Amino acid sequence: MELAIEPKSRRDLEDFKVALNRLAAEDEHGFDILSDEETGQTVVRGLSEEHLAGLVDRMGSKFGIAVNAGAPQVAYRETLGRKAEIDYTHKKQSGGSGQFARIKLMFEPGEPARATTSRARSSAALCRRNTSRASRRA
């Protein structure tokens, strides 16, 4: 069973770490303290939900540190499965000068070693068409 815990106040962070290590030394059943690099959470792993609830209670009663406890966050990773291309042309004409833009985007998966990143290449051209009556007369 795992539980993510953190002090309610950032000022209690150092006391929280000391209290957590003392509780780990005193606990007869033992529990693991993990620091998740991706989420930045402190995760404790114990025997049961009751064991971890008792740990949170002792943190407050014995050391006077209020903590937030909950389920650990999961870092999801997504990657592109195949190449994707987009070609969009924007045309807008409403009286005065008009707007024209063409955008081409191509997304493709990265190498397997870097599966969490993807490359994006884009090229865009923006042209303004001046279709006002004054420019037609000139």
pLDDT band at 7 (very low <50, low <70, confident <90, very high): very high
Give residue 112's pLDDT: 65
Closest residue by Cα to residue 14 from 51, 63, 86: 63
Residue-wise pLDDT for 106-134, tens only, equals: 988 877 654 444 343 333 333 333 333 33
For the chain, list the domains and their CATH numbers.
2-70 (3.30.70.870), 84-137 (no CATH)
Residue-wise pLDDT for 68-100, tens only, equals: 999 998 877 777 888 999 999 999 888 788 888
In sequence order, what E strands does 46-134 have? 67-70, 84-92, 98-109, 118-129
Q: Is the pTM of this model over 0.95?
A: no
Q: How far apart are the first and last CA of the chain?
A: 79
Give residue 130's pLDDT: 36
Give residue 97's pLDDT: 83
Contact 106, 124 (CB under 8 A): no
Whole-number average pLDDT of the chain: 79
